[in-house]
Amino acid sequence: MDKTYVKVIFQPDLKNPVVVASFPGVGGVGVTATRLLVDFLDAKLFAELYSPLLPDYTPVNPDGLCSLLKYDFYASIERNIVVLIGEEQPPPDDIPAYYDLCGEILDFMENINCAIIFTVDGIPTLYPQRTVYVAGTSKRIILECVDMGAKVYADGRIIGLPGLLLGLAKLRGIEGACILTPVTDLISDKAAAFNAYNFLRKILGLGLEKTIWG
């Protein structure tokens, strides 16, 4: 395999879907929160992205089975939502790989006519907090998230794919926001992940009347 490719398992019937994307990061917040979302939506795996830009190891499951690192795309046709869960980010010292991988992801998102992107990550803190922070590609989306209880994440940085994906999406005219929750356990903070999950359900209108797109 000498280039990134996407294996499409089936073509879901989606119309300008909302995409929620997560990658391994601080406290495991993004991946844990989006797995909860996939379970809640009963979303179905419809595509897998494979890439030589990802690290050079193969994960092995409890049964001893190994498989290539990949990114999974799940679809909830009923809710018109796509959830992207990445198994790993590129090596930290390979900066071009981050840009190339984001480009491949965004190409696929444009192919499914993505309307808006949310990414999810954690930010380190010393004390447990139930606060949710947001940074976005437009004032409109930031204010909508603030109306739903988030605080503006100002004068900071979003490291890795959760931030870079939004920065590059903005250049393509795709709106988006990063949902950030404070993390005390940098390895696995389940309380912070559940906090992010609850906020995702709120902004996606899952059980609530108000949504922030359309």
How many domains are there within the chain? 1
pLDDT at residue 129 in the model: 87
Task: Please report which residue ranges of the chain form alpha helices under DSSP H.
Answer: 29-41, 95-111, 139-147, 161-171, 190-203
pLDDT at residue 210 in the model: 44
Task: Please report which residue ranges of 42-160 form alpha helices under DSSP H.
Answer: 95-111, 139-147
- 65 inside domain: yes
- 211 inside domain: no
- 105 inside domain: yes
pLDDT at residue 1 in the model: 77
pLDDT at residue 213 in the model: 44
- 213 inside domain: no
Q: Which of 170, 142, 141 is nearest to 154 (CA)?
A: 142
Q: Mean pLDDT per 10-residue run, the chain (214 residues)?
A: 93 96 95 96 98 94 95 97 97 96 97 96 90 96 96 93 97 97 92 95 77 44
pLDDT at residue 98 in the model: 97
- 212 inside domain: no
- 192 inside domain: yes
- 121 inside domain: yes
- 71 inside domain: yes
- Strands 44-50 and 133-136, by their bridges, are unpaired
Q: What CATH number does residue 30 fall under?
A: 3.40.50.10900
Range of the domain at 143: 5-203
pLDDT at residue 214 in the model: 43
